[in-house]
Structure 1
């Protein structure tokens, strides 16, 4: 299904069908046929406190596939792929369990996760951890054009000391050329 807030080329939203009855709800959160680009090889569950921001990160090589299992996430996206028709564009998407869906994020699309309340999200990656593929910048870099609802969120040490936007883009382009 096309979602108007998905304005970045290659970012996909996959709507889930909820099967409800008196016992509760059954939801399929992943099928190989839903993703043509790359299949996930590792799955992770993340518990986050309210007012936590994770990122902003970008990857040279791997895709991310994520869904919210409980709570609410504000997903910030920004395209740094020079060859992309949406280069430089930013978008925010609110994810929760209603509607229930997943987002696929391709390499070269920066992403950050802000949690409005205690939340749990499930995500998969298409490549195993590689420090050379783990790039990032400060969440509040003005070039991202992301309007986060907090100016002092809880951040990891890594995100507190992240590069500036220009350095992150230079590192991405350097890695992007070597794999391209």
Structure 2
């Protein structure tokens, strides 16, 4: 059975699966539906994504608006990333708070991110990043928060980050609150 712990932000779970190591290598279950149903999470996964990013890349902070909001189950297949989520749930007591965790292919840990969060990661070692989504991607529902928002003050642990043009243009958290009527 996996060790599942809730983060300081309600609904965000870190998962440490039981890993079986021997002289041949290792084996672990990277997903089991009962891990989630035992924690009251009953949505299914309908899309899997995978990306490769070189060290120093920052991707995010991205989200999908309703009706295409996505919960995500993220992990690193190769490398190390700093995974970051920001609570954008309008009625949440932790609205605007961020949480981060190091996802490491040697630790095999995963992070569950409910819908209503912006998500991003920085690449500390070249990484293959995989994630399950509870809903399909929809371009018109896509949104984001500026990666270097001064209010969030996230330490991405990279110097001179490699960024997409899009990620440099997202609004700040304060601008997002004004544009969205207070959150997702």
- Shared fold (TM-score greater than 0.5)? yes
Which one of 108, 122, 126 corresponds to residue 100 of structure 1?
108
Write the distance in 1 (CA, Å) between the matches of 2:24 and 2:170.
Answer: 46
Write the distance in 2 (CA, Å) between the matches of 1:56 and 1:91.
Answer: 12
Whether the 8 Å CA contact 1:135–1:168 is kept in 2: the answer is no
Higher relative strand content: 2
Aligned residue number for residue 29 of structure 2: 28
Whether the 8 Å CA contact 2:48–2:132 is kept in 1: the answer is yes
Structure 1 unaligned segments of length 5 or more: list them: none
Whether the 8 Å CA contact 1:65–1:124 is kept in 2: the answer is yes
Runs of 4 or more above 4 Å deviation: 170-175
RMSD: 2.1
1:40 matched to 2:45: yes
Higher relative helix content: 1
Aligned residue number for residue 17 of structure 2: 16
Structure 2 unaligned segments of length 5 or more: list them: none
Number of aligned residues: 175
1:59 matched to 2:68: no
**Deviation of residue 170 (structure 1)?**
4.4
Whether the 8 Å CA contact 1:43–1:122 is kept in 2: the answer is yes
Q: What do residues 52-94 of structure 1 show as CA deviations (whole Å, max 9, x unaligned)? A: 0000112331101111111110012221223113222222211
1:150 matched to 2:158: yes
